[in-house]
Chain A
Amino acid sequence: NAGVMQNPRHLVRRRGQEARLRCSPMKGHSHVYWYRQLPEEGLKFMVYLQKENIIDESGMPKERFSAEFPKEGPSILRIQQVVRGDSAAYFCASSPGRGDQPQHFGDGTRLSIL
């Protein structure tokens, strides 16, 4: 009975490289959310997706960041040409989409930029 699965747990990239973070939602969940947590801060919303659709990307930087949730396979958060400021923990959450059902979080991906 797997929960939200994120991989990798830790990712190290050099400045200018690309980072790809993956998230498989809980079984039966069709809504995926990405959040970013900077050191010593709370989580900040980035993007909300349903299968093949971006519903709300108001929290995502306009450049270098993109997200997808294809019909088959996990949701991907992609960061191109990473910079030091991208170092953070990136959390994925999923829900069945009903407002009364809480979002369940994965263990996060810790991205470190050298």
Chain B
Amino acid sequence: AQTVTQSQPEMSVQEAETVTLSCTYDTSENNYYLFWYKQPPSRQMILVIRQEAYKQQNATENRFSVNFQKAAKSFSLKISDSQLGDTAMYFCAFIGAQGGSEKLVFGKGTKLTVNP
């Protein structure tokens, strides 16, 4: 069974600084997808960034980038130039690509606070 672990329950960062959120996962599959979702206080689930396991290049989306280390099964999220609106819960998620069920497996989340 796949598992996703986020070892940092809470983190804080000063506005305009950079912060990195950690995520590790466990799977026996060779091809899969990884995601970071953001859940602000409004509790919507917003897709931040995704990575395909067979792509070696790390995904980037504006101020958000990932450090994907397939051998180490690590998928960290880096937020540059942090903004107050980045305050939210961040969830790392995994989905297998080998057919069958397409359920997302989520970590327990990291609560990020951006301080002015």
CB within 8 Å of B: which residues of A?
A: 31, 33, 35, 41-45, 48, 55-56, 58-59, 89, 91, 93, 95, 97, 99-100, 102-105, 107-108, 110
Contacts and interface: CB of A to CB of B under 8 A. Distances in A.
Contact of A43 (B42, B91, B102): B91
Contact of B106 (A44, A56, A99, A110): A44
B33 A100 contact: yes
Contacts of A95: 102
A35 to B, nearest CB: 7
Interface stretch (B12-20, B45-53, B64-72, B73-81): B45-53
Size category of the B interface is 20 to 34
Nearest to B111: A40
B50 A102 contact: yes
B25 interface: no
Nearest to B35: A102
A45 B47 contact: no
Contacts of B108: 41-42
A19 B63 CA distance: 41
A43 B45 contact: yes
Best-surrounded residue of A55, A97, A105, A107 (most CB of chain B within 10 A): A105
B97 interface: yes
Interface string B99-112: 01111111111000
Contacts of B46: 105
A38 to B, nearest CB: 11
A95 B103 CA distance: 11
B2 to A, nearest CB: 11
B75 to A, nearest CB: 15
A107 B43 contact: yes
B91 A48 contact: no
B88 interface: no
Contacts of A97: 102
